């Protein structure tokens, strides 16, 4: 082995930067989290060339004292903790104290900051260590330019500017959802891409990020038990997505990715999602800092739970409880497919430098032409002070669009979704009711982090009886069946369509599950036994699930070679091509792989049995059989989806039908 060398500080910082600074989004994340920890309620992010050439983050937070600026760029120097015990009560976004040092080692960083109780601000250049006094608004503006300028190998592996800008936009969308009480603005190459009001209304933030069509398909969830709180919104099955990109969950205000959270969320959605579909959600999760470990990776996106089983059960129960409490019959839109359209960004807070330059232009014009100057443009009579900030020679004030907020001039508004027409109504803010005090660090998590967050509430304008209920059953008018597959019935002002296979499958599934739980499974003996031949792969799956097959009423024994004898089958499969159905179930399991020991293994086999034993599309059944299946469907907790997640029914309103016949012209 060669001689062991002690590395110098510059080399150490660049190595550390490899973990902290993966791409421009990593820098934005660290800067914005610092702004949140500083108590800011308005944060603007501006980038150029995907953040590779320029990043600027501006906030109206507490600011940094002049004497602390040089310490902020030292490794493992932080204002968040003092000793190791503080990690057990950590409420801040950051705590490691190495991010700024790492960022400054691979880019040119400049900070301009002013404390609220100070007259002047200060500017600090990290690469030279120069500190100078400067006029500045309250808060902090930090810039990072020329990322990896001194590490060309790392710079070469960055993606395109558009791709890097997309990663930053995705990050800021998550941050905006995690803190609906903070106004976020994102500017890329001079274009406004994100603006949230900071009203504290999570549904407003979801509308701003995802648009009206997503915001109208939300189910509120509020759960608190055993020290775990879960609040936010779940998407209805109508907006299930083909991947997990729309699963948004935030632990103590921090966006995380966790197999534990994803697994419990998706189990709570069991029965509401089809195969290869995933739910939409925005959930704010609160857990005592002593019960989690966030010090797993510098990115702080991975966490460990001290009691995984308790959290898993709590999340599953919160999700399933909220879904079961809501009637989710999809409503058909005959006018065309709904599209995801984000709201237009307008009335965003005025950038500080832009406003200042306009006023200077008016003053100069007045001096040249001797025109009357508006009183608001006279510095001596203006209520607020105007400061100029010189960031660098490359960023000339005359050419830039500085995104610094004037917090006293922010136009904050909220969106009301409660109108009957579903239109979003903009409401002007009640400034007298706006809280002025920032959350104190020593307050409990529930009183500080989400102090101004409005918990979701289920809107209830008029009490309406659920369609799927015994009381409503007497008012159904069964109109008949079309294509020997879909039943039609009317109730009040809607026409309902039911898929006979999905409905019967759901009834069979619930009957099998309940029989299994109560150990009252009935089977039919076959005489003589039926012989089936299984391939090596099928034998492996069968032996892995043999105990489950026994519990559900199958008795199968090895007959010799590849042959197996089928002695008994569940009553639901008797006289329904038992051999073919058994093989179909086994093939379904082969496609899923070996399910032995997996959660939900019994449910998967029950779903296959229920599917194979249900009436099929095209089967002719009597009206009495329709009525019986419909009656059985009403007794279920979730009659809206079959075990595989397909909807059992949907509705069309009378208004929608009349629009198609032009009785109503909209």
Residue linked to tokens 């009834």 = 507
Instruction: Report the candidate in 435, 351, 438, 441 with the shortest Cα–Cα distance to residue 141.
Output: 351
* Confidence (pLDDT) at 577: 73
pLDDT value of position 383? 39
Between the alpha carbon of residue 28 and those of residues 175, 207, 461, the distances in Å are: 11, 23, 42
Q: How far apart are CA 281 and CA 411, in angstroms?
A: 28
pLDDT of residue 170: 93
The pLDDT value recorded for residue 41 is 92
Q: What is the pLDDT of residue 339?
A: 53
Confidence of residue 69 (pLDDT cuts 50, 70, 90): confident
Q: Flag whether pLDDT at 436 surpasses 70.
A: no
Cβ-proximal residues to 661 (8 Å cutoff; 6+ apart), any chain = none
Does residue 440 have a pLDDT over 80? Answer: no
Whether the pLDDT of residue 426 is over 60: the answer is no
Q: What is the reported pLDDT for 220?
A: 94
- Given a cut of 70, whether residue 465 has pLDDT beyond it is no
State both tokens at 626: 């329709």
Task: Give mean pLDDT, residues 514-527.
Answer: 82
Gap between the Cα atoms of 94 and 57, Å rounded? 16
pLDDT of amino acid 378: 43
Whether residue 625 has pLDDT greater than 50: yes
Q: Please name the residue that has the structure tokens 């430098």.
A: 353
Report which of residues 477 and 189 the model is more confident about. 189
**pLDDT band for position 469 (50/70/90)?**
low
Q: Which H/E stretch holds residue 143?
A: strand 139-145
Range with the largest mean pLDDT of 4-18, 275-289, 546-560: 275-289
Does the bond joining 652 to the residue before it have cis omega, within 30 degrees of 0? no
Say how many Å lie between the first and final Cα of the chain, rounded.
81
Name the band, by pLDDT with cuts 50, 70 and 90, for residue 430: very low
Comparing 85-89, 156-160, 481-485, the range with the smallest average pLDDT is 85-89
List the one residue out of 293, 220, 288, 235 whose CA is nearest residue 453.
Answer: 220
Confidence of residue 273 (pLDDT cuts 50, 70, 90): confident
| Mean pLDDT (the chain, rounded) | 76
Mean pLDDT value of segment 497-511: 90
Is the pLDDT confidence value at 67 over 70? yes
pTM, two decimal places: 0.65
What is the average pLDDT across 337-346? Answer: 55
| Residue 238 confidence (pLDDT) | 85
What pLDDT does 71 receive? 80
């Amino acid at each position: 082995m060669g001689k062991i060398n002690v590395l110098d500080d510059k080399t150490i910082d660049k190595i550390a930067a490899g973990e902290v600074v993966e791409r421009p989004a990593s820098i934005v994340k660290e800067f914005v989290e610092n702004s949140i920890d500083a108590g800011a309620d308005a944060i603007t992010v501006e980038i150029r060339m995907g953040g590779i050439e320029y990043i600027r983050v501006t906030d109206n937070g507490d600011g940094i004292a002049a004497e602390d600026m040089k310490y902020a760029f030292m490794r493992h120097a932080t204002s968040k903790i003092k000793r190791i015990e503080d990690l057990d009560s950590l409420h801040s976004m950051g705590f490691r104290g190495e991010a700024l040092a790492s960022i400054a080692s691979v880019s040119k960083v400049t900070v301009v900051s002013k404390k609220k109780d100070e007259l002047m601000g200060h500017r600090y250049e990290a690469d030279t260590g120069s500190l100078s006094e400067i006029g500045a608004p309250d808060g902090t503006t930090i810039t990072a330019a020329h990322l990896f300028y001194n590490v060309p190998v790392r710079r070469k592996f960055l993606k395109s500017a558009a791709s890097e800008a997309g990663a930053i936009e995705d990050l800021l969308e998550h941050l905006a959802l995690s803190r609906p009480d903070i106004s976020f603005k994102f500017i890329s190459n001079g274009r406004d891409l994100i603006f949230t009001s900071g009203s504290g209304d999570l549904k407003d933030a979801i509308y701003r990020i995802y648009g009206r069509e997503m915001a109208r398909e939300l189910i509120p969830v509020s759960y608190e038990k055993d020290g775990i709180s879960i609040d936010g919104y779940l998407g209805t099955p109508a907006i299930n997505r083909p991947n997990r990109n729309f699963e948004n969950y935030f632990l103590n205000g921090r966006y995380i990715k966790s197999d534990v959270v994803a697994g419990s969320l998706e189990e709570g959605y069991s029965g509401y999602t089809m195969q290869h579909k995933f739910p939409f959600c925005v959930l704010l999760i609160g857990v005592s800092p002593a019960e989690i470990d966030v010090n797993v990776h510098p990115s702080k996106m991975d966490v460990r739970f001290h009691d995984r089983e308790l959290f898993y059960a709590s999340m599953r129960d919160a999700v399933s409880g909220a879904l079961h409490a809501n009637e989710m019959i999809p409503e058909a839109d005959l006018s065309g497919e709904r599209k995801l359209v984000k709201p237009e960004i307008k009335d965003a807070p005025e950038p500080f430098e832009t406003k200042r330059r306009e006023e200077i232009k008016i003053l100069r014009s007045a001096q040249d032409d001797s025109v009357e100057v508006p009183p608001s443009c006279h510095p001596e009579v203006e209520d607020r002070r105007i400061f100029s900030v010189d960031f660098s020679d490359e960023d000339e004030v005359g050419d830039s669009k500085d995104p610094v907020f004037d917090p006293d001039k922010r136009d904050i508004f909220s969106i009301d979704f409660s109108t009957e027409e579903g239109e979003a109504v903009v409401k002007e803010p009640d400034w007298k009711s706006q809280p002025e005090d920032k959350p104190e660090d020593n307050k409990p998590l529930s009183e500080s982090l989400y102090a101004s967050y409005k918990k979701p509430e289920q809107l209830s304008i008029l009490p309406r009886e659920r369609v799927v209920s015994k009381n409503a059953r007497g008012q159904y008018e069964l109109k008949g069946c079309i294509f020997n597959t879909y039943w039609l019935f009317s109730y009040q002002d809607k026409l309902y369509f039911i898929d006979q296979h999905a409905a019967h499958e759901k009834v069979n599934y619930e009957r099998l599950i309940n029989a299994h739980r109560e150990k009252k499974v009935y089977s039919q003996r076959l005489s003589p036994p039926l012989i089936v031949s299984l391939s090596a792969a099928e034998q492996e799956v069968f032996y892995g699930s043999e105990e489950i097959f026994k519990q559900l009423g199958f008795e199968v024994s090895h007959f010799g070679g590849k042959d197996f004898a089928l002695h008994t089958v569940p009553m639901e499969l008797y006289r329904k091509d038992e051999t073919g159905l058994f093989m179909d179930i086994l093939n379904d399991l082969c496609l899923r792989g070996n399910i032995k020991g997996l959660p939900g293994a019994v449910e998967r086999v029950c779903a296959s049995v229920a599917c194979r034993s249900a009436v099929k599309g095209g089967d002719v059944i009597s009206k009495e059989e329709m009525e019986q299946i419909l009656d059985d469907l009403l007794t279920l907790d979730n009659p809206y989806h079959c075990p595989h997640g397909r909807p059992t029914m949907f509705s069309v309103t009378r208004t929608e039908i009349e629009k198609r016949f032009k009785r109503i012209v909209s």
